[in-house]
Amino acid sequence: MLPTDCRRTLGKLSALIGHTPLLELCYTHDGVPGRIFAKCEQMNLTGSIKDRMALSILDHAYREGLIQPDDTIIEVTSGNTGIAFAALGAALGHRVEIYMPDWMSRERVDIIRSYGATVVPVTREAGGFVGALRLVDELADTRSHVFLPLQFANQANVDAHRLGTGVELTQQLASEGLRPDAFVAGVGTGGTIMGVGLHLRKTHPLARVHPVEPAESPVLSTGCKVGTHRIQGISDEFIPAIVDLSLLDRPIPVSDGDSILMAQKLAASLGLAVGISSGCNFLAALAVQKELGPNSIVATVFSDDNKKYLSTGLLQSEPLRDHYLSPGVQLKSLRVIAAPRPA
Ligand code: PMP
Q: Is 332 in the active site?
A: no
Rounded-to-10 torsion of CA 208, 212, 215, 217: -130
Distance (Å) from CA 234 to ligand 1 centroid: 6
Q: Determine how many CB atoms are found less than 10 A away from the CB of residue 317.
A: 8
Q: Is 277 in the active site?
A: yes
Strands (E) located in the chain: 22-29, 32-40, 72-76, 95-101, 118-122, 146-147, 182-186, 208-214, 252-254, 298-302, 329-337
| CA end-to-end span of the chain | 27
- pLDDT tens track, the chain, 343 positions: 888 888 999 999 999 999 999 999 999 999 999 999 999 999 999 999 999 999 999 999 999 999 999 999 999 987 899 999 999 999 999 999 999 988 877 888 999 999 999 999 999 999 888 889 899 999 888 999 999 999 999 999 999 999 999 999 999 999 999 999 999 999 999 999 999 999 999 999 999 999 999 999 999 999 988 899 999 999 988 899 999 999 999 999 999 999 999 999 999 999 999 999 999 999 999 999 999 999 999 999 999 999 999 989 999 999 999 999 999 999 999 999 999 776 6
Distance (Å) from CA 304 to ligand 1 centroid: 9
Is residue 180 a contact partner of residue 30, using CB atoms and an 8 Å limit?
Answer: no
75 — phi, psi (to 5°)?
Answer: -140, 150
pTM: 0.96
Domains, the chain, with CATH or none: 8-44+161-337 (3.40.50.1100), 51-147 (3.40.50.1100)
Q: Which atom of ligand 1 is nearest to the CA of 50?
A: 7
Q: Which atom of ligand 1 is nearest to the CA of 151?
A: 14
